Structure formats: C-alpha cells, structure tokens
RNA sequence: GCCGGGAUGGCGGAAUUGGCAGACGCAGUGGACUCAAAAUCCACCGGUGGCGACAUCGUGCGAGUUCGAGUCUCGCUCCCGGCACCA
C-alpha cells in the first residue's frame, strides 16, 4: 500500500480486477433471492452530466449494498437512443443521427465505466437497435389485433414554411422554432393506444404502490383524473333536423339553474350552427387558428358566440340557447357543458359578459346570494332552491333524485369521466421506431406480417429540417401490399420515444433473445425491486410503463402488472448562477468558477447573482463530471454526491464540499496506511478489553447498525456517511498501539472499509487488500453488529426539571425507576432546581431520560 | 384556483416512535508546524448576559394539547413542485 492516496491508480486497478473476475455479470439463480436495481437509462446526448452521476451512484450504492446482503443483484444499463436531439444535431452538423447517437453511446459508456458502476454490460441495449425495436413493432401489432391500438385523426402543430410537424417543445410563443412562422393546427391520421381502458386499474393500483413516494402517486392520480357525475341529454330540433346534445356534469344538483349550454368550437353542433351563420363560422375559424397547447388555452380570454340553435331542458322542457365557447374542451367529457352561471365561476363570467340570466339554485347555509358579483362560496354544496321538486335536498340526495328522473326519461345516466386521454404515439419524425403498417390503395391499412419484422429504419438519412426524410426515401416508402401484392406505401410515422422506454426493463432481463420479446428469465428478475430516476418522469414515463406492462400481461407475456416495486426520485443538481445584463444585447452568463465574492475574476467588476438553479448549458453553470473524476477520482465524486444531501433533495454544487470529501478520503487512506505499517493484528479478545477499547468497539458496531439501516431501509446515504465520518474521528482519537488496541483498531478499520465500500468501491477494494485480505471486498458479506459490543454497563440519562435540561447522570444499564430517581435527585445541578419544592410527578423513560415535575 | 412538499446556525444538512436542537461536512476564527506559503494537525464556532461556573432566549408567525413539541392539532405567512377553463 502506498502512503499517498492516488485515486487514478487505485481506481484503474480495482476496475481491472472486477473485469477480470466478471464480478458484475449475473445469471438467473433460483437458489438465491434476486434483486433488480434499475436506474432510468440515459439519453445519449453526448457526455454524462452531474444528474447522471448522481442517479447512477445512488443505484450503484444500493446494488452493491444488496449484493453484500446476499442478493443476486442485477444492475443493467442501456440507451434511450431515439429522439429529437439526434435530428437537431443532424440539421446542425449534417451528421446522420445513427452515427451521432452511436458515437455518443461509446463515449458515455467509457465515462460510466470510469465511475466504477457495477453494471452487467453483457445486457446492454440501445432502443435504436432493430433487435430491440422490432418488439415495439411486434407488440404494437398485437395491440392492433386486440383493439388497444387504433387509428383516428389527431391535432398537430404545423409549420407552414418548413411544411413539417412540430413537437410541442419546438413551438415557442406560438411560432415555429426555426422559421418563426405562426404555427397552425392540423388534423392528420395518427395511431393511439387505448390507455383509458386501463384508467380504472392504473388508478386503483396506485394505492398498493406503498413504496413509491406519495408525491408521485398523487401526481399520477391527478393526471388520470377520475370524476363521477351525470351525463345529461338536451334534445334539439331545428329546421326539420333533430338530435341530442350530451353534456357531462359533476353538479347535477344545479341542473335547474341551467340558462345556456356551451359547446366546443370543434363540436358537431358548432359546425351545424356555422353552416347557417357567418358570425359563428368566423368564431369557429378563429379558434382553430389559435394554439394547440392547452396551457395557452387556459390563459386565453373567455369568449363565445350565440348560435341560432336552442335545446330543450330535459326536466323543465324550457328552451335553452346554444353558445359556442372557446373555453370548452372538445377532448374532455362530451365537448359541451351546461351553463350554470349561478354556481360556476366561468359560466358566471360568461353570462355577465353576454347578458345571459343568472339563476341561483343552491342555498349555502342561508348566506345571501347576489348576482352582482361572483363570490368564492357560490360553488359550495348546499340545499336546492328554485328547483321545484328538488327544493330542500342536499347535494347527494339531489344528484340521486335528478339522476333517477333523467334515467327514467331516457335523458341521462350516471357516468365516470377520466381526464386521462388515449396515448397518441405517431410522430412525424425520422429518428424513431417505424410503425409497422403498409397503406394499400385496395386493402387499406395493412399490418406488416410478423415474419417481415423488423421494419428497419434506414440509418443513412440526414434530416434537413423540412419534413420527414423517411417520407422522401423511395427505398423505404415503396413496397408491396402483404395482402394483395399491389404497389403500396409504407407508413412513415415513427413511434413516440416513450414507447421505447415503456418496457426496456423487461428486455434487460432476457437480453439477446431473438425469438421472443421476453422469456422465462424475465419472470425471474421482474418486477424491478428498486427503480431510480428523476422526478420529471413522475407522470408520463412511469404511467406509460405501468400501462405497457399491463398490456404485456394481458397478452400473456408476463404475470407482473406493476413493473417497479419501489421508486426513488432523486433531486436535481444545482449550481450558482452569475450573469451580467448589458444595457443592450443579451444576458451574459459566467461559470461559477470564474466568479469570486460576487466579482468576475477576469476584471474584478461585480456580477449579478441569479441564486442557484439546475445546471444547464444556457446558464453556463454546469460542472463536467469528467473534470471531477480526472482531478479527484471517481470515489471522491461519488462520496460527495451521496453526502451533500439526501437523495430526494436537490443537491447544491460546492467545490469546497468536493474538497472536503477528498480530504476525508486522504485521511482514511492515511489512517489505514499507518495501521498496516504495524504489521498484522491479532483477533479481538472480547473479554479482555479495557474501557477505551470497549468504547471504540461499541462505536464501530453502533455505526454499523446505523449505516445498515440508513442504506437498507431509510435510503439516507448522507447520514450513513456522516456516521462513518464520526467513527473515523473516534478512530483518530484512539491512540493505543498495544496488541489488543491494534486488534480493536483492525476490526474498526475493516468495518469502515466494508461500510464505505458501496460508496467508494475502488479505494475500499485497495484498503481491504491492504488490511490483509486475499478476497475482494465487493464479494464480502455485510457484517452483523455484535450484540456483545453494543452492551454497556452504565448509560447516561438526561435529567430534566419541568422539561428543562438540568443534568446528565450515569445509571446502571437496566436501572429501574427508583434507581433512576435516586440518581437524578442526588445530582447537585438537579437539587438546585428542586430544593424547597415538592416533586409532584416523575417521568422515567428507561435508558434515556428523567423528568422531575415540581 | 386545486393537489402535494417544505421553512432548523453564515451555508448544505442532522435530530428515525413526542424525550439532550444543531450530528456530519463546508465556510470562518485562533493556534501548532514552516524562512514563508500550501498541505496537515489541534482548539473554538446559534443569540444575549457573565472573567467563569452558569443563566437565559432560540427550529417561519400566532394559539393549543402534553410532565415534555423542530416533531402532534388549529389558524396564518412565505417558498418550492405538480396539475390547471376538466364542466
């Protein structure tokens, strides 16, 4: 063992030893309990960022810890390799997305290896490989057969200059990101997956995901959005035509307060009205031109237009005018609402603006209602008034009575409506998984036969920003109809990349099978025991994966329905933001390393602080993990990230903090070095130790118990590391070169190395060898705390008088209340506060505390 | 607007079941070593009063429950995140 800690040398040697032994290559083994530890796979954007390092360090610590607990641990890694950035890079640099992606993968793989993650690389996959995405296509065809996948028209953002479809993130302030042209809405045919069919199950099962963060479960529940209500029919008749307008409402109790109905601009009734009314036509067309994004819709002014149509109130028979409103969403419920201005804020505003009558029909605890101005309590539940037969009923009774009456007339039924919508997976993009459909002029849309899968994506195309290069590739598009053999066109849309990430965890478990999507190996490994990734995937990715897994289950491919048993969402990595705002021109950002005490090092002039924020290229506050590893080694980088904050919190970058972690590594190394210079130590003779030796031994075993609990149960890696630091501080104070002292020292250092080995595996590997072991520390079992070491003859208890801390006294370990009372009252510090008063009561918490109440 | 989470020293954070507030680290201060600096080591490090022992206040604000509250209850303030014209 060298005296100096040389991370580069230590880390290369450890990695070589692991590789030579095939340490992380795992096989299914029915005799051992399995543990599948998975981190969300990265998008190969170029190089690793700090968020990756944090994510994969958390996973690696858990994987190594569980391995030491005796589990057969699988920790795989792959690449979420399809997506828009590869096309953008192609547009900028003229490089094919395939080459760009694969170059990035090989670079990032080397970086991951340098960080020492215990990954089974034999299972690596990239979603852009045909032997992966062929199974996307295969399962898509099964979904078509089962009616889970279907085709219908959908709305997209259309850039009229580039003649291309834009993703939502390519629309900036309603304009195309490259052309600046106002974006239009377009209706085009797209494929959808019927996730709504699984809404009830996806929502219900959230309750059983008790090892997921509450936050994520709530977010998913809100997203799925279950509403119970009544679907009400308003019949209409106009110029010889008749029909029924349906609306959904959760407030059937207010139905007697309906003074208008409003339909979405895309609603068939709006179209009908527009045919005979230029005013309505103009309004509907205006709505169509506005943004497709709902966030924008929400902030738009509420506007509407009256139509010449009216409908019949299902209970009163009154005529109710039909309006078209821009605030009515076609995609939710029936695309139409009943207007109850008395008790709905939007309807109230709408009625005020257009002079529609406002009729209060709910009385809330006798509070006075005025139609002059909206009051926040107007939508509260109460008793029906102005409602004929329903007067006096409360919310539940009124809904019940009204639903029954509507049902008996055939003009309504109770209904559950979901906010969740079906998943549109068609993307008019090149770099994605081709949708395996052939369009035949005679046979229509024909699925590609299984035997012809995969439909391979040509890898030599270079997008130029206008349209989808696939559509321009004759070799790809032109084909024969599988049914009739006639000339046909291949579908050029590709799948949403969320499809790729919805089942990759199954594929890791049965890598390399070219005959089936999954096999028996997947039933050994699945479900994933611990999944780790960013909170930004709390809704879409995790919901799609839960859905896709259920589809696989219903296709008989797996018995699992929840893919991820336990979920950890790690916080983001933040850094300081510094900038200057010139009088004219754009804000200039400075890297925190260029700034000291609020001044730019280069010119000594002040810069403005933007607080802390996520590391990003645009704000120039990123820290490159590579520089960190080059300078301090992977172990220090890993240690700092795990120590600086609990895994779910945001982590503020601190160069000083990294220095602190490095200092700790050097101190630990030096301590081990100094110890092993003394030659081999004898085994600990438990019975023959003096007080100081027993003390260190107790601290070591206490730390061991805490660290095991912190990693295994609490996942508070920061406190685990703090406990080891505390132990090392105690070790440093322990100066005892006697044979017995050296034996205790040897044991304590071995425990430190074992406890730290999940965090700093390379240094632990070297120090374990230095401490005299032929084995690799990575193969060691997690030690059990020795109960004998934890025993104490006396314990310190705190003494309070009236709840205020007044003294600490030593009592025998198993002391009863009488003994504790005696010791407490005998203490002079306590006596001072008790003197002259009567002890009314005495609380004793054994081994901890006495509270004297006077 | 609705839902969720949070607020503890100069900073990141700890206090796990209602029982010693501030573990551990960073920054800072003083000292040792050094010609000097870096590195390293030692000590101190919430406020106020006191030479000191010690006392006293202190976990966003206001109440409450309790022998005892950072932790529980009620009411506020502010911050962060999610959803958001969802009928």
**Pairing between β-strand A573-580 and β-strand A651-652 as defined by DSSP bridges:** parallel
Residue A757 CA to B37 C1' — how many Å? 36
Q: Return the pLDDT at A295.
A: 41
A726-754 core/surface letters (b: 16 or more CB in 10 A; e: else): ebbebbeebeeeeebbbbbbbbbbbbbbb
DSSP classification of residue A530? E
Average pLDDT of span A248-257: 95
Q: Concatenate the DSSP letters of all residues of A397-427 into one string.
A: HHHHHHHHHHHHHTSEEEEEEES---EE-EE
Q: Which nucleotide is nearest to A659 (CA to C1')?
A: B26
Segment among A142-156, A167-181, A437-451, A683-697 with least mean pLDDT: A167-181
Contact between residue A641 and residue A629 where contact means Cβ atoms under 8 Å apart: no
Whole-angstrom Cα distance, residue A692 to residue A735? 10
Residue A779 CA to B15 C1' — how many Å? 34
Which residue(s) pair with A243 in the sheet?
A236
Structure tokens at A471: 């559509």
Q: Return the pLDDT at A453.
A: 94
Structure tokens at A38: 């998975």
Short-list A544, A463, A456, A557, CA closest to A506: A557
Most confident region among A21-35, A563-577, A781-795 by mean pLDDT: A21-35
Residue A610 CA to B15 C1' — how many Å? 32
The neighbour count for residue A841, using CB atoms within 10 Å, is: 8
Percent of chain A with pLDDT over 70: 98
Complex prediction ipTM? 0.96
Residue A746 CA to B33 C1' — how many Å? 29
Average pLDDT of span A15-22: 98
For the stretch A64-94, pLDDT in tens is 999 999 999 999 999 999 998 899 899 889 9
pLDDT at A506 over 90: yes
CA distances from A277 to A271, A281, A283, A299 (A): 10, 6, 10, 28
What is the SS3 assignment for A606?
A: strand
Compute and round to an integer the Cα radius of gyration of chain A: 34
Most confident region among A422-426, A720-724, A831-835 by mean pLDDT: A720-724
Contact between residue A700 and residue A789 where contact means Cβ atoms under 8 Å apart: yes
Residues A370-373: contacts with CB under 8 Å, at least 24 apart: A371/A342
Whole-angstrom Cα distance, residue A102 to residue A563? 28
Give nucleotides in strand B with any atom < 7 A to a protein C-beta: 3-5, 11-16, 19-21, 23-27, 39-42, 55-56, 67-69, 81-87
Look up the protein residue whose alpha carbon has the minimum distance to the C1' of B55: A806
Look up the protein residue whose alpha carbon has the minimum distance to the C1' of B66: A803
For the stretch A771-800, pLDDT in tens is 999 999 999 999 999 999 998 888 888 999
Q: Reading across the β-sheet that carries A423-424, which strands appear in turn?
A: A164-166, A149-159, A184-193, A423-424
Q: Which H/E stretch holds residue A611?
A: strand A608-614
CA distances from A390 to A257, A259, A473, A554 (A): 12, 18, 66, 46
Look up the protein residue whose alpha carbon has the minimum distance to the C1' of B26: A657
Q: Which nucleotide is nearest to A250 (CA to C1')?
A: B87
DSSP percent split of chain A into helix, strand, coil, nearest 5 = 40, 20, 35
Residue A376 CA to B77 C1' — how many Å? 21
Q: Which nucleotide is nearest to A644 (CA to C1')?
A: B12
pLDDT at A180 over 90: no
Distant-in-sequence, close-in-space partners of A454: CB < 8 Å, separation ≥ 6 = A130, A131, A133, A134, A137, A436
Whole-angstrom Cα distance, residue A124 to residue A77? 6
pLDDT at A294 over 50: no
pTM: predicted TM-score of the whole model, two decimal places: 0.93
Please count the CA atoms within 13 angstroms of the CA of A560 that sit on its side-chain side.
23
Structure tokens at A169: 């993130």
- Write phi, then psi, for A792 (nearest 5 degrees): -135, 140
Residue A428 CA to B78 C1' — how many Å? 45
Whole-angstrom Cα distance, residue A548 to residue A564? 12
What is the SS3 assignment for A343?
A: coil
Contact between residue A379 and residue A345 where contact means Cβ atoms under 8 Å apart: yes
pLDDT at A291 over 60: no
Average predicted confidence (pLDDT) for chain A = 92
Helix A97-114, helix A7-21: angle, nearest 10 = 110
Whole-angstrom Cα distance, residue A24 to residue A789? 34
Q: Which H/E stretch holds residue A302?
A: none
Q: Which nucleotide is nearest to A303 (CA to C1')?
A: B85
Short-list A655, A753, A545, CA closest to A553: A545
pLDDT band for position A804 (cuts 50, 70, 90)? confident
Residue A825 CA to B49 C1' — how many Å? 29
Whole-angstrom Cα distance, residue A713 to residue A10? 31
Percent of chain A with pLDDT over 90: 70
Residue A852 CA to B53 C1' — how many Å? 23
Whole-angstrom Cα distance, residue A762 to residue A635? 7
Whole-angstrom Cα distance, residue A567 to residue A213? 7
Q: Return the pLDDT at A604.
A: 82
């Amino acid at each position: 063992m060298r005296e100096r800690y040389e991370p580069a040398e230590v880390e290369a040697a450890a990695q070589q030893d692991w590789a030579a032994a095939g340490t992380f290559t795992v096989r299914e083994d029915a005799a051992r309990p399995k543990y599948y530890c998975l981190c969300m796979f990265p998008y190969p954007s170029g190089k690793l960022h700090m968020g990756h390092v944090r994510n994969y360090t958390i996973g690696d610590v858990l994987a190594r810890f569980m391995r030491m607990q005796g589990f057969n641990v699988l920790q795989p890694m792959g690449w979420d390799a399809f997506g828009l950035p590869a096309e953008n890079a192609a547009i900028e640099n003229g490089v094919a997305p395939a080459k760009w992606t694969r170059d990035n993968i090989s670079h990032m793989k080397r970086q991951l290896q340098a960080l020492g993650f215990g990954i089974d690389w034999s299972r690596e996959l990239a979603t852009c490989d045909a032997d992966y995405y062929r199974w996307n296509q295969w399962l898509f065809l099964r979904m078509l057969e089962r009616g889970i996948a279907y085709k219908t028209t959908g709305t997209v953002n259309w850039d009229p200059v580039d003649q291309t479809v834009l993703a939502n993130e390519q629309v900036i302030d309603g304009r195309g990101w490259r052309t600046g042209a106002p974006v239009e809405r377009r209706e085009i045919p797209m494929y959808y997956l019927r996730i709504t069919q699984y809404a009830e199950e996806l929502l219900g099962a959230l309750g059983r995901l008790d090892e997921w963060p509450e936050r994520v479960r709530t977010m998913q529940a809100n997203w799925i959005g279950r509403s119970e209500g009544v679907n009400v029919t308003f019949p209409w008749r106009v110029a010889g035509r008749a029909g029924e307008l349906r609306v959904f409402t959760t407030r059937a109790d207010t139905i007697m307060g309906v003074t208008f109905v409003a339909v979405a601009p895309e609603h068939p009734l709006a179209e009908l009205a527009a045919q005979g009314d230029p005013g309505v036509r103009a309004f509907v067309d205006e709505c169509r031109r506005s943004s497709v994004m709902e966030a924008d819709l929400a902030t738009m002014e509420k506007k509407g237009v009256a139509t010449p149509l009216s409908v019949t109130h299902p209970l009163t028979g009154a005529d109710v005018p039909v309006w078209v409103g821009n605030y009515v969403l076609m995609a939710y419920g029936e695309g139409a609402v009943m207007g109850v201005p008395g008790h709905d804020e939007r309807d109230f505003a709408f009625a005020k603006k257009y002079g529609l009558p406002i009729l209060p029909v709910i009385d809330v605890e006798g509070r006075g209602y005025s139609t002059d101005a909206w009051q926040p309590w107007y939508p509260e539940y109460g008793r029906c008034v102005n409602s004929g037969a329903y007067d006096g009923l409360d919310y539940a009774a009124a809904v019940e009575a009204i639903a029954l009456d509507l049902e008996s007339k055939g003009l309504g039924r109770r209904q559950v409506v979901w906010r969740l919508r079906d998943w549109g997976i068609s993307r008019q993009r090149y770099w994605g998984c081709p949708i395996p459909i052939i369009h035949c002029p005679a046979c229509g849309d024909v699925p590609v036969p299984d035997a012809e899968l995969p439909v391979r994506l040509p890898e030599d195309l270079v997008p130029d920003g206008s349209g989808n290069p696939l559509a321009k590739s004759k070799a790809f598009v032109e084909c024969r109809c599988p049914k009739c053999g006639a000339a046909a066109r291949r579908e050029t849309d590709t799948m949403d990349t969320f499809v790729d990430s919805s089942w990759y965890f199954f594929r890791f478990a049965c890598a390399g099978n070219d005959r089936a999507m999954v096999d028996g190996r997947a039933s050994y490994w699945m479900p994933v025991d611990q999944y780790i990734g960013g909170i930004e995937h709390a809704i879409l990715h995790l919901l799609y994966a839960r859905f896709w897994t259920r589809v696989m289950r219903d296709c008989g491919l797996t018995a699992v329905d929840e893919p991820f048993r336990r979920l950890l969402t790690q916080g983001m990595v933040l850094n300081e933001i510094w900038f200057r705002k010139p009088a004219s021109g754009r804000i200039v950002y400075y890297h925190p390393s260029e700034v000291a005490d609020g001044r730019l090092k280069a010119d000594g002039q002040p810069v403005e602080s933007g607080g802390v924020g996520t590391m990003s290229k645009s704000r120039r506050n990123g820290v490159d993990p590579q520089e960190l590893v080059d300078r301090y080694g992977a172990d220090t980088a890993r240690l700092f990230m795990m120590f600086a904050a609990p895994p779910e919190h945001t982590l503020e970058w601190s160069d000083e903090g990294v220095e602190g972690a490095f200092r700790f590594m050097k101190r630990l190394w030096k301590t081990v070095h100094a110890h092993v210079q003394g030659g081999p130590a004898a085994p600990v003779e438990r019975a023959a130790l003096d007080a100081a030796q027993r003390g260190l031994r107790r601290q070591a075993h206490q730390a061991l118990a805490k660290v095991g609990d912190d990693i295994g149960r609490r996942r508070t890696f920061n406190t685990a590391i703090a406990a080891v630091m505390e132990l090392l501080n105690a070790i440093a104070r322990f100066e005892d070169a006697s044979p017995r002292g050296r034996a205790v020292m040897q044991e304590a250092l071995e425990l430190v190395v074992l406890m730290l080995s999940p965090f700093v595996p390379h240094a632990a590997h070297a120090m374990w060898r230095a401490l005299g072991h032929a084995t690799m520390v990575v193969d060691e079992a997690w030690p059990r705390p020795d109960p004998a070491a934890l025993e104490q003859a006396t314990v310190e208890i705190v003494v309070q008088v009236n709840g205020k801390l007044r003294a600490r006294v030593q009592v025998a370990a198993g002391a009863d209340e009488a003994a504790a009372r005696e010791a407490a009252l005998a203490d002079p510090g306590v006596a001072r506060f008790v003197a002259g008063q009567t002890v009314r009561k005495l609380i004793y918490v054994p081994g901890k505390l006495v509270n004297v109440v006077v």
